[in-house]
Structure 1
Amino acid sequence: MSILQDAGFLITILNIFLAITVIFLERRSVATTWAWIMVLFFIPIAGFVLYLIFGQKIRRRKLNKLLGSTQRIIEETVDKQKHQLMRHELAFNDPSMEGYRDMIYMNLRTSYALYTQNNSVAIFTDGPTKFDALFRDIEAATHHIHLVYYIVRNDDLGRRLVQALTAKAKEGVEVRFLFDHIGSFMLPSKFFNELKAAGGKVQAFFPSRIPYLNLKLNYRNHRKLVILDGGVGYIGGFNVGNEYLGLNKSFGAWRDTHLRMQGHAVQQLQAQFFMDWNLASAERSELGRSYFPRGEEEEASGAIGVQVVASGPDTEAQQIKAAYIKMIHSAKHSVYLQTPYFVPDESLMDAMLIAAQSGVDVRIMLPDKPDHFFVYWATQSYIGELLAGGVRVYRYERGFLHAKTLVIDGKIASVGTANLDIRSFKLNFEMNAFLYDTATAEQLQRIFAEDMASSYELTMSMYATRPYLNRFKESVSRLLSPIL
């Protein structure tokens, strides 16, 4: 008994010391600090091991990803456009976008998101259609193919993609493939050997120094981008794996949203690719003219206004979250949101509730199937507040909903890689395309309405009858939401 008491005393003292260490290391938010202290309290010692895996802060000085000359050119271009916006010298292809001038300025100021208006956009909502288009574009590429994916599976789709890229590399096309080390953790080491042998370049993003032990589960590259010959770009929610084709029995049909873009917005995808590549690779690639073939003098690909906004743990700004909040506050009639995970902070929750209580038709669509235990139950914990505040909540039943879309008043929209949760806003590297075009926003709004036919509306009376065990899971998960 004396030995157990001594051991308990030592563990208590050590846990207090570790808690103090967490307090001094954590400067992000009070909520995050308290969440980690709670983990330490309920899981002594082991909780600190979890903190080392999940909670370490990234050193931002390592993320100076742009080369000096490139940084200077971008800053000069951004300053020029800021002046045009402030002086009302920028004419909008869609006159109704005049009301979003302040939002465009904010994105430009906080994330260097240049506003371009010569873009065409195709929307994909199912995997087979998206990947068929992607493989056609890969086959047509003549100079380079750049890819960033969070998840790449060693399955039929993953192997087919590598085979297609290998064939292009053998033709002399430059191929660079960046995959996230944790998202694609199950890939065998030889998976890319054939592509590398053909001259393709492959890099893992933020790999663990000690495989299987030194897991870095935060600060992941959650982007899904493809750029082909500097003229065609893909961005959205689809990763690479059979489940994204609807071939996984546990998920069933996979409902996602992805964009294929042409126009000057593709240049922003390209610039972000090189920043990510230079961060992950020993190679320091210059942003040469051959990667940005579309000059101002070339004919426009379309007339859609686009800003591509990147965010990540390398800044404190949380640019995509700020853009979401700005969009919601601008709403006069409707807010339509689709997200697989809904773990908002107070500012985003307030924005949605204020909009609903102001008479705006606010609707959120979530998957009815869980794929992450704690995130699913944390999401459930916020639904009651939404319903009480007048937000309409829909649960998608025909497979798994993975789309990350926001449509405001059928005028502007966002499609990208960021989920509506704290992890996407603060801990992951994300990228969204903000679309300033009535026709495109109306199309996304129609897609939302079509998805409602495959959903059921969750009412307050239905929510109030949920089992007490579910309420317990929600309460525990919500306490952990700042670190999920």
Structure 2
Amino acid sequence: MFNFLGHNFWTIAIILNYILVISALTTVIFKRINPTKTLSYIIVLLVFPFFGLIIYYLFGQEYRKDKLFNRKNVLNNSIVKRVNEEITLDKKKLDDLEHNYLDEKIKLVKLLQRNEKSPLTLCNKLEILKNGEVKFKRLFEDFRNAKKNIHVEYYILKDDKIGTEFIDILCEKAKEGLSVKLTFDDVGSKISKAARKKLKAAGVEFYEFMPVIFPKFAGKMNYRNHRKIAVIDGEIAYLGGINVSDTYVNYPHNKAYWRDTHLRLVGESVYTIQLHFLTTWNFVSGKDVKIEKNYFHQCDLDEGVPVQIAASGPDTDWANIMEAIFYAITTAEDYIYITTPYFIPNDQILTALQVASKSGVDVRILIPNESDSWTAKHATNSYLEQLFEANIKIYRYTKGFIHAKTMVVDGLFSTIGTSNMDYRSFNINFEINALIYHKETSLLLKQDFMNDLEYADLMNPEEWQKRSKWLKSQEAYARLWAPLL
């Protein structure tokens, strides 16, 4: 028996591989996912024995269909229901907004409210924070001034220079008697045992998000919490692209300049961000979270900036952020300015951008000149010719690495958040964006975009066509993986 197995090991292994492949392919086909993604899985599973199954296991689980999060405990809470009722606008107020200045954008508001009951809030103050050094100065001030509770959720948290200061402040506040809750992604973060002991000794409650056995080797090949949010006393919230790591702060010793954007919010929109944190906490802690009144600060603003919080991921029924971006693009009349570190669009977004540009809308996209990912860089490059054909202007940022995730449309609508313009952010990761319906804010973001263009090169379509066949082959290879990235 053992001799037979020894002599026929590879034959048996290949047979077992393809039995599992047939089972996986049946699952993929009947899930009715995007045909492009389906074909990508079929190619990987059939052409790469064993390796294809590993890729399918890491990439192929459709958690949105399986409802990874159980949100009923949070959404059914009496305090949460009361808060939602208070901030949800009635039909008359929405109609008034439509007639006054939101016009077609009111349909985007209604879309998200139907999808995930994400209410439009009118009473908000916001502050756009450029780069990590500005963000952390404001965040640490708010941490130190906190009186009741601090809730923090990050994709990347490292106990380097800025991370140690971040952790020390949380420990100080916990020792003062505040309730401090911290969750960080197990793959993106790297925290020493000493830092964990410090957090625990100080009384900070913390949990890793979906721990994996070998995080160093897991990379991006699974569903991760890409959100970067903080909520202080239920009154102030932060969200955007800046993680907790020295990489995101422009220290003199850093090798490269890091350009990023974050948002500080005060007002009713903080309620929604708090709800998303509590839902995550309910999941990572493994127990029903106790929701207290002081998690929701009574807003004392009479008016302000209209903001809607869009979250998406395996815990949502719809790809909310992608749908919001898609609708904003398709209803644009004047211009669309996008900044993204990774541009690997799905068919819907790519077509929407092409149609908008061909219909006369000024479409400009700012991407990094050099990426921090070989695959993402070449996958992005594989889409550029299609953009050039539609007369879309592509700029490459040369001052350093641009990691901001922003879009501004027609001087009325803008978004800042954690979502990249790629498959992973739209369909796989947990993301959160602020959708802002405000002329002054849009003008500020438009000016930021124009300032960044001063450190960017406008790509020449004719020159791009002359690139080598070797580069084109790398792009073709990377694009095959685009639906899986």
Shared fold per TM-score greater than 0.5: yes
Once structures 1 and 2 are overlaid, which stretch shifts more, 91-100 or 426-435?
Answer: 91-100
Cα displacement string for residues 300-330 of structure 1 (whole angstroms, at most 9, x for unaligned residues): 3x51000001100233410100000110011
In structure 2, the residue matched to 1:34 is 39
Q: Does 1:480 align with 2:481?
A: yes
Structure 2 counterpart SS, 1:123: strand
SS in 2 for 1:313: coil
Q: What does residue 19 of structure 2 align with?
A: 17
Q: CA deviation at 1:88?
A: 5.7
Answering whether residue 73 of structure 2 is matched by residue 67 of structure 1, we say: yes
Structure 2 CA distance for partners of 1:81 and 1:262, relative to 1, 3 Å: closer
Tell me, in whole angstroms, the C-alpha distance in 1 between the residues paired with 2:79 and 2:148: 24
Contact residue 94 and residue 106 of structure 2 kept, 8 A: no
Contact 2:358 2:390 in 1 (8 A): yes
Partner of 1:203: 207
Q: 2:274 — aligned with what?
A: 270
Following the alignment from structure 1 to structure 2, what is the Cα–Cα distance between the partners of residues 351 and 304? 28
One of 146, 151, 173 as aligned partner of 2:151 = 146
How far did 1:74 drift? 6.1
Q: Deviations over 1:176-219 (max 9, x none)?
A: 011011111x3223322212211110011111267778888422
Of the structure 1 ranges 152-161 and 58-67, higher mean CA displacement relative to structure 2 is found in 58-67
Equivalent position amino acid for 2:340 in 1: T
Counterpart CA distance in 2 for 1:251 and 1:53 is: 33
The residue type equivalent to 1:53 in the other structure is L
Choose which of 258, 267, 272 in structure 2 pairs with 1:254.
258
User: Could you tell me which residue of structure 2 aligns to residue 50 of structure 1?
Assistant: 55
Output the amino acid matched with 1:426: N
Instruction: Determine if contact 1:93/1:304 at 8 Å carries over to the other structure.
Output: no
Question: How far is 1:372 from its partner?
Answer: 1.3
| Pair 1:343-2:339 in alignment | no
Give the one of 224, 229, 236 matched to 2:240: 236
Cα distance per residue 1:334-358 (max 9 Å; x no partner) = 0000111111111110100000000
Residue 125 of structure 1: aligned partner: 130
Displacement of 1:77 after TM fit? 7.6
Q: Distance in 2 between matches of 1:60 and 1:362?
A: 37
Q: Tell me the percent identity.
A: 32
**How does the TM-score come out when normalised to structure 1?**
0.92
Question: For 1:68 and 1:452, how far apart are their aligned partners in 2?
Answer: 43
Deviation at 1:136, TM superposition (A): 0.7
Aligned to 2:423: 422
Determine the structure 1 residue equivalent to 2:460: 459
CA 79–108 in structure 1, closer or farther in 2 if over 3 Å, else same? farther
Partner of 2:401: 400
Distance verdict in 2 for CA 1:114–1:46, change over 3 Å: same
Aligned to 1:166: 171
CA shift digits 1:157-177 (9 cap, x unpaired): 111100011111111111101
Q: 1:334 to 1:72 in 2, by over 3 A?
A: farther
In structure 1, distance between residues paired with 2:444 and 2:144: 29
Question: What's the offset of the Cα at 1:98?
Answer: 3.5
Q: Does the 8 Å CA contact 2:378/2:475 hold for their aligned counterparts? A: yes
Who is 1:107 aligned against?
A: 112
User: What is the CA distance between 1:22 and its match in structure 2?
Assistant: 2.1
CA distance in 2, matches of 1:261, 1:321: 22
**Equivalent residue for 2:292, pick from 288, 291, 294:** 288
Q: Which moved more, 1:410-419 or 1:461-470?
A: 461-470
The letter of the residue matching 2:290 is E
Match runs of 1:363-382 below 5 Å: 363-382=364-383
CA distance in 2, matches of 1:285, 1:202: 13
RMSD over aligned CA atoms reads 2.7
Partner of 1:136: 141
Q: One-letter code of the match for 2:232?
A: L
CA shift in 2, pair 1:276/1:460, >3 Å: same
**Residue identity in the other structure for 1:233:** A
Distance across 2 between alignment mates of 1:120 and 1:211: 38
Would the aligned equivalents of 1:93 and 1:303 in 2 still touch at CA under 8 Å? Answer: no
How far apart are residue 113 of structure 1 and its match? 1.1
Structure 1 residue 100 displacement after superposition: 1.4
Q: Secondary structure at the match of 1:348?
A: helix
Report the more deviating stretch, 462-471 or 336-345: 462-471
Q: C-alpha offsets along residues 66-94 of structure 1, whole Å, 9 cap, x if unaligned? A: 41663687678878988834x56554499
Q: Distance in 1 between matches of 2:253 and 2:52?
A: 35
Q: In structure 2, the residue corresponding to 1:113 is in which secondary structure?
A: coil
Query: Which residue pairs with 1:177 in the alignment?
Result: 182
- 2:367 and 2:402 in contact (8 A); partners too: yes
Query: Given that residues 208 and 216 in structure 1 are in contact (C-alpha distance below 8 angstroms), is that contact kept between their aligned partners in structure 2?
Result: no
Matching residue of 1:315: 316
Which sits farther off after the overlay, 50-59 or 118-127?
Answer: 50-59
CA distance in 1, matches of 2:333, 2:301: 35
CA distance in 2, matches of 1:314, 1:25: 21
Kept in 1, the 8 Å contact 2:378–2:478? The answer is yes
Tell me, yes or no, if the aligned pair for 2:87 and 2:268 is still in contact at 8 Å.
no
Q: Spell out, residue by residue over 1:96-135, the C-alpha distance to the aligned partner (whole angstroms, 9 max, x if none).
A: 2243111110011112111111111100111111111111
**3-state SS of the aligned residue for 1:476?**
helix
**Deviation, structure 1 residue 466:** 1.4
In structure 2, relative to structure 1, the CA distance for the partners of 1:418 and 1:251 (3 Å cut) is: farther
- Cα distance in 2 for residues equivalent to 1:115 and 1:19: 46
Contact kept in structure 2, 1:237 and 1:258, CA below 8 Å: yes
Q: Which range moves more in the overlay, 62-71 or 276-285?
A: 62-71
Q: CA deviation at 1:51?
A: 2.4
**SS in structure 2 at match of 1:220:** coil
